[in-house]
Amino acid sequence: MKKDLISLADLSLADIEKILALAAKLKRRNQPKLLRDKALGLIFKKSSTRTRVSFEVAIRQLGGYSTFLRTEDVQIGRGESIADTAKVLSRYLNGIVIRTFDHNEIVEFAKNASIPVINGLTDLSHPCQVLCDLFTILERKKRLQGLKVAYIGDGSNNMAHSWIYAAIKAGIELTIATPKKYPPSAAVQKAVRAFTSQKGRFTVTVDPQAAALGADVLYTDVWVSMGQEKERDEKIRAFRPYQVNAQLVALAKRDCMVMHCLPAHRGEEITADVIDGKHSVVFDQAENRLHVQKAILALLMG
């Protein structure tokens, strides 16, 4: 694997399989000596529940410890350059997780850091979440190759982008159902088509019913991502036909999995009866953030 985890675009299928295999091993039996006395920093510009807690617990269970750095509390929030901050923190820490808005910030940080840099979420990409999603699907379905995943909702957000990379690498048939105004990034689509080895494929449609038909997995996310609050009314109107509800689930396979990376807005992108229903694996999915992130930390910081 490379030094950093910035995007799934940077991982090979072998890298992904290595992470998932180690996650399975660590879920069965924790190994607290793997990162004994290693220090993990967390710089978060965006609020967080799952990412922060799962990384803090993960490093502790592996024998290390974490320090949480709000941007308001460090000099980067007062004008110190990203490059200088990266160089300094590399002298104190063994790895760092960054959760921010602008993807270029984490790219710049990684260029100047001598320690592993992990993307805890940017507006463009959320690789740790989708690795966890692949792990959760593999636990239930025992395979990834050939599965049909329907992503229903905002095709322009970080989850859709990371799912495109995952599908192409893992041999998944991904269909993204989204309004015409919210397609995946043109840069992401171009990058994927340039891959020399494409095991899976993805398509984009405006028809959520067509995407859900015969799907092994139905996936959704919030319609209004962090930082888009001014667009809320417009997006709610646009995405109303894209709700994951009982009618949509009925179109998928009888043993389909319903997934959501959380937080969920019941009654908007997903109904309460579906997220709490028999097809939902949402809370198993949330738990698996811990195990997959232990594997990521162990492989990058070990």
* Residue 50 bears catalytic tag: no
- Whether residues 119 and 134 fall in one domain: no
How far apart, in whole angstroms, are the C-alpha atoms of residue 11 and residue 202? 18
- Whether residues 201 and 69 fall in one domain: no
- Whether residues 66 and 161 fall in one domain: no
CATH number (domain holding residue 133): 3.40.50.1370
CB contact at 8 A, 174 and 137: no
Q: Which of 99, 103, 161, 291 is catalytic?
A: 99
- Whether residues 21 and 158 fall in one domain: no
Range with lowest mean pLDDT among 30-34, 160-164, 181-185: 30-34
Q: Which of 50, 52, 103, 126 is catalytic?
A: 126
CB count, 10 Å around CB of 36? 9
Q: Which of 61, 129, 243, 293 is catalytic?
A: 129
* Residue 103 bears catalytic tag: no
3-state SS, residue 68: strand
The H or E element containing residue 42 is strand 39-44
pLDDT in tens, 136-165: 999 999 999 999 999 999 999 999 999 999
Model pLDDT, residue 86: 96
- Whether residues 263 and 148 fall in one domain: yes
Q: 270 lies in a domain?
A: yes
Q: 193 lies in a domain?
A: yes
- Whether residues 71 and 172 fall in one domain: no
- Whether residues 217 and 187 fall in one domain: yes
Q: Tokens representing 194?
A: 């340039």
> Residues 254, 136, 154, 236: is their CA dihedral positive or negative?
positive
Q: What's the pLDDT band for 77 if we cut at 50, 70, 90?
A: low
Number of domains the chain contains: 2
Averaged pLDDT, 261-268: 97
pTM for this one? 0.96
Q: Tokens representing 239?
A: 């995405």
3-state SS, residue 127: helix
Q: 45 lies in a domain?
A: yes
Range with lowest mean pLDDT among 43-47, 159-163, 204-208: 43-47
Q: 146 lies in a domain?
A: yes
Q: Tokens representing 203?
A: 């398509």
3-state SS, residue 45: coil
Q: 1 lies in a domain?
A: no
Q: Which domain holds residue 147?
A: 129-285
Question: Mean pLDDT score of the chain, rounded to an integer?
Answer: 95
pLDDT in tens, 89-123: 999 999 999 999 999 999 999 999 999 999 999 99
Q: What's the pLDDT band for 198 if we cut at 50, 70, 90?
A: confident
Q: Which of 4, 154, 216, 221 is catalytic?
A: 221
Q: 3 lies in a domain?
A: no
Model pLDDT, residue 193: 84
- Whether residues 121 and 133 fall in one domain: no
Is the model's pLDDT at 16 over the cut of 90?
yes
* Residue 129 bears catalytic tag: yes
Model pLDDT, residue 246: 98
* Residue 78 bears catalytic tag: no
Q: 221 lies in a domain?
A: yes
How far apart, in whole angstroms, are the C-alpha atoms of residue 62 and residue 13? 25
- Whether residues 122 and 139 fall in one domain: no
Q: Which of 184, 191, 172 is nearest to 134 (CA)?
A: 172
Is the model's pLDDT at 296 over the cut of 70?
yes
CB contact at 8 A, 166 and 194: no
How far apart, in whole angstroms, are the C-alpha atoms of residue 84 and residue 86? 5
Per-residue b or e along 83-110, where b marks 16 or more CB atoms closer than 10 Å to that residue's CB: eebbebbbeebbbbbbbbeebebbbbbb
Is the model's pLDDT at 78 over the cut of 80?
no
Q: 215 lies in a domain?
A: yes
Model pLDDT, residue 30: 87
CB contact at 8 A, 22 and 50: no
CB contact at 8 A, 125 and 6: yes
* Residue 261 bears catalytic tag: yes
How does strand 148-152 pair with strand 201-205? unpaired
Is the model's pLDDT at 199 over the cut of 90?
no
3-state SS, residue 124: coil
- Whether residues 70 and 58 fall in one domain: yes
- Whether residues 114 and 177 fall in one domain: no
- Whether residues 133 and 239 fall in one domain: yes
φ/ψ of 66, rounded to 5, equals -125, 160
Averaged pLDDT, 192-221: 92
